[in-house]
Amino acid sequence: MIDLYTWTTPNGRKISIMLEETGLQYRVIPVNLGKEEQMAPAFTALNPNQKIPTIVDHDVAGGPLAIFESGAILIHRDKEYLAADYSIADIATYPWVSAAWGPLHSTLPDELGKLGNLSGWLDRMKARPAVQRGMAVPKV
């Protein structure tokens, strides 16, 4: 079981997407950044950087292991889902590109119209059920 400390940010959603893709069991612990919950002593004990995402992996040898920084978490679990046509690079990039696409498209529609490959990649990512579920985490 994995405890996922997260919020509604692109970095946080990288991990919920990965967990949905792998089918690993996890529990979501929302960390409201607007209320500065990441500064709480209990959270700081897990992650001295006081940033989300953070996981506590209860299924590792030697007991629970806290891991923070989205890249480190993705690499920790990459053996679960790395594939030729879909990888941690897709998971790490999609939440950021997705968040930027709407504002960029409204201001630079002609330029983005030239990026058919990127648009197609966004559509393929968005169509993945695990990406849809991961992008909805945490529920607020």
Domains, the chain: 2-135 (3.40.30.10)
**Angle at the Cα of 34 from the Cα atoms of 106 and 52, rounded to 5 degrees:** 90
Q: Pairing relation of β-strands 26-30 and 2-6? A: parallel
96: buried, middle or exposed (CB in 10 Å: 19+, 13-18, 0-12)?
middle
Question: Count of CB atoms within 10 A of residue 86's CB?
Answer: 16
How do the pLDDT tens digits run along the chain, 140 residues long? 999 999 999 999 999 999 999 899 999 999 999 999 999 999 999 999 999 999 999 998 998 999 999 999 998 876 657 556 888 889 999 999 999 998 988 998 888 888 888 889 999 999 999 999 999 999 99
Cross-strand bridge partners of residue 131: none
